[in-house]
Structure 1
């Protein structure tokens, strides 16, 4: 300033010509909460610690691979229930140990495989426990999936700024009430944070809606409540995937291998079975193997031989593979969100996209059956996953759970607004405690306008010109009163025209008179 000069001379004064720029926040960074084989980083525990990874190999390095899924073989005596496989004219069912329900399993690892297969990238993992636990007597038992552990894992994300989605596959292993409780907790978390979106699975969504035990979609809608619905989306049905291969299975897949032995002996003709095959089968489940005898085969060798010579053994493994390949779709959708965001932008609806490593949805949904899913009087829209001839399995819905809201009906609208709000919030922090005068107002207005113009140029905002797409308002008499300035408030109002998907395309045909 002139008053500060004392000595005659030439003084250089530099003035900033441009406002601060806005850095667009990431939109596709999901956080997965669940159980893992272990949680370790070179001796340092990662349990209950959000950890960023970028690939499946990193996940396996820090958290291990798949759990040990086991089944027992039970004869099917219910004529109304389809068995998992047949042998000797009888039908059999594969059941979980201790009468656990089919869906009581650890889903996280398989879900991570599905996530990366469908375009997934950087994400956060919150491991809330291991697959097994050591008792006081030294015995090792399966860990129990707990609602509180999953909710505590969600709370750990409160201090993380980067995650933009929340996915909790292991919630499906809980009973219905506790699963809904975890999902409600995740909705509240996303609403409070205002910078993330929950992707939900419909409980028991592998079942038909006309299942005798109840309509899974109606139950989900009825118990989820009405709060914070615009910060989430749900998908139905579950998926038949190709994640688990037969080569991933072995004798450890059976709770009692003698059950398998008896079935295979019966298949081979019982007491009349060829001696060579009988000798092989007698090694199955033999707890008194003489390790000094060279005639005994390893479990892996037995597995390969029986798989090649026994149709029943092959059918059993195929049934196990099919059960393990039934997975909830939320993780696959997190991958789809990531892929669409990276290729088209967060403003593109994550729909009309095929799913990778998916054979089919567990339930085939027709055009008419989707009507109630997409548009409901209760307003809770459920996005359908459908199979189309010649096109594969496609995501055929793009609505949030708040389906009746004209503001937040569409997923891409909600997520685009989250991105714009968070980006401008972080950029505007630079002006906290700056003088609340016109110079500051102009800088903020220019900064926001430049950012929104870049979004509009890429197709994120609707309008033929920037003036049609957005407007930024700030200033005394426009957004603030003199009292606001006295109390330290600087108010900015931004109007944006967000692009909405063409959900219903109508083509009208009409005959016209012959002209020649």
Structure 2
């Protein structure tokens, strides 16, 4: 203890780390882009990067109006080049995204997703945005394995922009092509049908781009635990109307497809929120994405304790910080239960989550049980961090 020799006010700096779990961004998408589209928007300032970031629709328009040198054949200049950019699938996708509530986003060349996405820690959504063949070969599965808490928004029908009804065979074919069978289907959701700009328009827009904007809008206004459903789509018409029979066939399957429907003369409305694996206990989009957010936020906070001793004092700091974080989510309605103990539980300690051997090796293990759908019906998340050895 410090020996104070004279009266006065003394300030001492505490040497212990302060732990706090904070809610991070939940709807930062990366759009997959065809190579031919990507080069139209790439600027010289991007250097050799296979991705770029856009903050707003104005930033997209600015890129479209300041075309990169060498992006077009010599014969294609002026208005011809501009028409090519404005007609591109990427341009239409980003326009629909921002029109429906989207914010900051990344665009990545589809063939480079596997290398780029794990290096963008703030990305939480991967948007197919109509890209098909360039995502072959299990690239999405690899990205999901390397990125914590990533969710994929897919276009049902493998980007087949025809007017024919979608079939179960087409869905199964797309899953196989994307390498999502049987791994990680619960981290993805299909949407159908495609959109267009008006009854007579031939310019089609992939549903995944629209849904990315709606995800961002719902997250910002209501929370990641709210379903991105029963939401009207802005500025677009359906390329094909979906009937009750269509919806029944697409929804009652182990790989559900979320449909967007138009009722009467109303705007197209999102009419489903299921992940692409109905057998998962996390079979609803908001439940899966809430778990993704919990994983990211808690894991990020636990890393702050990496240089702390693996003792009961550190465990209590971790438990308390997680409790404060989950209590706030429960208070906002993200977890179910009249009382906090019905909504979540946190376990950490010797003989509870860690053996003596775990502690000696520096392993700090916490278990978090949360009830996202019904009170006291818990789903468990397990977190492990390597600390100083005892």
How high is the TM-score relative to the length of structure 1?
Answer: 0.62
C-alpha contact (below 8 Å) 2:29/2:127 kept by paired residues: yes
Question: What pairs up with 1:98-137 in 2 under 5 angstroms?
Answer: 106-126=88-108, 128=109
2:215 to 319, 337, 349: 337
1:195, CA displacement in angstroms?
A: 2.2
**SS of alignment partner, residue 32 of structure 1:** strand
C-alpha contact (below 8 Å) 2:130/2:155 kept by paired residues: no
Change (3 A) 1:21 1:55: same
Separation in 1, partners of 2:47, 2:227: 35
| Cα displacement string for residues 391-414 of structure 1 (whole angstroms, at most 9, x for unaligned residues) | 321111101111221x22111111
Question: Match of 2:143?
Answer: 189
Separation in 2, partners of 1:499, 1:198: 22
Question: Match of 1:352?
Answer: 230
Question: Match of 1:507?
Answer: none
Question: Match of 1:219?
Answer: 173
**SS of alignment partner, residue 212 of structure 2:** helix
Separation in 2, partners of 1:490, 1:383: 40
Gaps of 5+ in 2: 73-86, 375-390
Residue 245 of structure 2 corresponds to residue 368 of structure 1: yes
1:425, CA displacement in angstroms?
A: 1.0
Question: Match of 1:50?
Answer: 51
Question: Match of 2:266?
Answer: 391
Change (3 A) 1:64 1:419: farther
Question: Match of 1:323?
Answer: 202
Change (3 A) 1:206 1:8: same
Give aligned pairs, total: 347
**SS of alignment partner, residue 323 of structure 1:** coil
C-alpha contact (below 8 Å) 1:353/1:394 kept by paired residues: yes
Residue 19 of structure 2 corresponds to residue 20 of structure 1: yes
Question: Match of 2:83?
Answer: none
Change (3 A) 1:411 1:64: farther
Instruction: State the Cα RMSD in Å.
Output: 2.8
2:152 to 198, 214, 218: 198
Change (3 A) 1:208 1:180: farther
C-alpha contact (below 8 Å) 1:31/1:165 kept by paired residues: yes
Residue 128 of structure 2 corresponds to residue 168 of structure 1: yes
Runs of 4+ aligned structure 1 residues displaced above 6 Å come to 15-18, 65-68
How high is the TM-score relative to the length of structure 2?
Answer: 0.81
Question: Match of 1:424?
Answer: 298
Question: What pairs up with 1:140-151 in 2 under 5 angstroms?
Answer: 150-151=110-111
Change (3 A) 1:47 1:111: farther
Question: Match of 1:134?
Answer: none
Pair member with larger Rg: 1
| Cα displacement string for residues 412-432 of structure 1 (whole angstroms, at most 9, x for unaligned residues) | 111111111111111111111
Separation in 1, partners of 2:255, 2:169: 15
Gaps of 5+ in 1: 69-104, 129-149, 173-177, 243-317, 501-516
